Structure 1
């Protein structure tokens, strides 16, 4: 069984993942603002199914990796730390824009197409793929039971966290965009907090010993 402390840290990493702007967030915000909440929620259903695809692929892959090449985790650890630092830079870099500052105008689509577009946006999202490949394995240990079920547990934590946050963002995208437009200082503060926390998590990951 995965220790509660590790689950909480992983949940925090998952929260940072979903709060950091990426293809999924940009698509959901734009779709919700352009076509309404129902369209946004339909798109979100496709995004969540894509998370399950990532989870199952990672769970099977991590299990095979543990059995075949344990030392590969050292490379994954540094790749994960570098990725977190890159996300921190994206949050802090001069000229970086929030997805709530500008949205792309999208034409109306049918529910089936909305679901499909959400699914493929999620499956092809490099941010989620790299998270599962480089950060995900750091919270799995052979000492805590079957690797596959640990991976599934972690995956469900990520999916639950991402679904909850994305649902709120989808439902209130228009209001959030207006609020940030009227309060630009909070937008800047959000970027600095996000970048600092991501950098801190990168340092923690780099110092983590292989278990």
Structure 2
């Protein structure tokens, strides 16, 4: 496989992976609908930062630890599931609070920087991403190129595609922002997303490693 073929093949595969509905999409969509496009993009940027971190670890060989160590994989799996459950329960709990919460308190509870951290941690605490990169990237590495720089180039392509996708779905919610911004609709969206996060956590917790 030459460099051009590797780049094109990886771009197609990464694009398909990016648009496949999953936890990242649910998190960004919820944030866009409830908190607005700026905070949604902060969440998306955090997710992309996690992708870059996993790509770097895979390129340096650190991600291989997850592929060969059941203990390491299980530890990240448990921590990641616990984090998702914590986020999901937080959204559910917040959705059942009295609608008389002051605007100042609401603003404090959803400061924009937290969405970057949430996106980042959601991605970093998913061991399947690390195992995926360890098993996926080598398939697109031409024999004549340095492995680490080329792996990071591929990871960068995946990150850019992710940002484009998150920008697209965030922009798509803007025309519906007024309808989605009502307190009742926000509570419904938080309850749906909270349940989705908990379900993803349970799937992650009980899924067996296949690599």
**What TM-score, normalized by structure 2, do the two folds share?**
0.57
Q: 2:41·2:166 contact (CA, 8 Å) conserved in 1?
A: no
Q: Determine the C-alpha separation between the residues in 1 that align with 2:42 and 2:156.
A: 20
Secondary structure of 1:145 counterpart? coil
Q: Which residue of 1 aligns with 2:118?
A: 117
Total equivalences in the alignment: 139
1:131 CA displacement: 3.0
Q: 1:44 to 1:165 in 2, by over 3 A?
A: same
1:124 CA displacement: 2.2
1:168 CA displacement: 1.2
1:2 CA displacement: 5.2
Secondary structure of 2:61 counterpart? helix
Q: Determine the C-alpha separation between the residues in 2 that align with 1:173 and 1:128.
A: 27
1:131 and 2:132 are equivalent in the alignment: yes
Q: 1:40·1:171 contact (CA, 8 Å) conserved in 2?
A: no
Q: Which residue of 1 aligns with 2:33?
A: 33
**What TM-score, normalized by structure 1, do the two folds share?**
0.57
Moved over 3 A (4+): 104-108, 125-128, 173-176
Q: Determine the C-alpha separation between the residues in 1 that align with 2:55 and 2:131.
A: 12
Q: Which residue of 1 aligns with 2:156?
A: 156
1:126 CA displacement: 4.8
Q: Determine the C-alpha separation between the residues in 1 that align with 2:127 and 2:15.
A: 17
Structure 1 or 2, whichever has the larger Rg, is 2
1:95-124, Cα deviation, whole Å (9 max, x unpaired):
xxxxxxxxx997861112111111111212
Q: 2:37·2:171 contact (CA, 8 Å) conserved in 1?
A: yes
Q: Determine the C-alpha separation between the residues in 1 that align with 2:6 and 2:15.
A: 14
1:155-205, Cα deviation, whole Å (9 max, x unpaired):
1111111111122112223659x9xxxxxxxxxxxxxxxxxxxxxxxxxxx
Q: 2:28·2:43 contact (CA, 8 Å) conserved in 1?
A: yes
Runs of at least 5 residues in structure 1 that lack an aligned partner in the other structure: 66-71, 73-103, 179-211
